[in-house]
Structure 1
Amino acid sequence: MTGTLIFLLFMFNILLTLAVVLLYLRQNRFVEIEKKQRKMQAESEELLTGFLMEIKEENEQFISKVSKMKEEEDLFQQELNTAQQSIKDVKHESHISAEAYARLLAARVYQTDEVDSSSDLQQSMNDPADAEEEALDEKSFSEQVNYLTKQGLSEEEIAKVLKKGKKEVELLLKFRGEGN
């Protein structure tokens, strides 16, 4: 009977040892899975941080481009107002002789350092259709897109006419609230 008890105790010890080993292996698997998850979490955080930094840089570039376009638009508006004022002045001074008119234009060109404005002014007086095409060439990108949109051109056609990317035109139209 003692032999049977000793045999049962050995069997019980072997079963307990196997149970402890199985529990230890299972615990190690959970620890490894937890380490892998932490590593994956750290990698995804690094990836997202890099992505956010890239987006931030692109946004800053976009904002600077938009502000530059706004400045160009303001400058164009000032030039347009100056040209309109010059046209009004020319209409009021139509009784001046050709020589006096040439001197007046030369003085204005010298003051504003814009040789092109006098020739543009004369051309706009001669041919309004040509002046409209030239004005389109001189407009900023956003104004050109706006003009072509009002003409009924699609985003792809505008991109082809202005030799710009379709996405750039779409983004500008969406930014202005005119996109689809």
Structure 2
Amino acid sequence: MNDEIVRPVRQWVESFVVGMDLCPFAKRELVANRVRFAVSDSTVQDQLLLDLRSELERLLTDASIETTLLIHPYVLSDFYDYNQFLGDVDNLLVGMQLEGVFQVASFHPDYQFGGTSVDDAENYTNRSPYPILHILREASLEKAIEHYGDVDKIPERNIEKMNTLGVSRLRELLGFCVTHKG
């Protein structure tokens, strides 16, 4: 069952995130097999927080994993609820004294940035096959940013890419990740 969930997320990372260079830091870790794809069977938010805690603890003790995508297909399918839950995620990081050690990026099938319409193409920079909490190591991120240069242009460049492709093509590409069997 987990393979059926991980496969579309891996396809999304490979073809969407890396393939369109939405995150210039992702390819190196993916190729080096340092990305953990973990699936939470949680159906309630409290259990998901426990699963997130476990993944944070795993990253603290296992340096061979650079980053974890905690996929949670059975809880927080509503984007509003998901967005509200991110406050609990921040509180967990603070409570575990991991603020500044890790950060959690958010991805969701219905992701919508504040000030945008549901159908705006730019929302696809953070749309994924399932809800995902992406745990990143702050030190690694800072190091990558140092070597990359002007990271402030990344969101602007990504929005331009999404607008150029258009919503119907983006919908098709994201749908391909879910249905592709390769």
- TM over 0.5, yes or no? no
Identify the structure with the greater strand proportion. Answer: 2
Q: Which structure has more helix as a fraction of its residues?
A: 1
User: Based on CA coordinates, which of the two structures has the bigger radius of gyration?
Assistant: 1
Q: Place the TM-score, normalised by the shorter chain, in its bin.
A: under 0.3
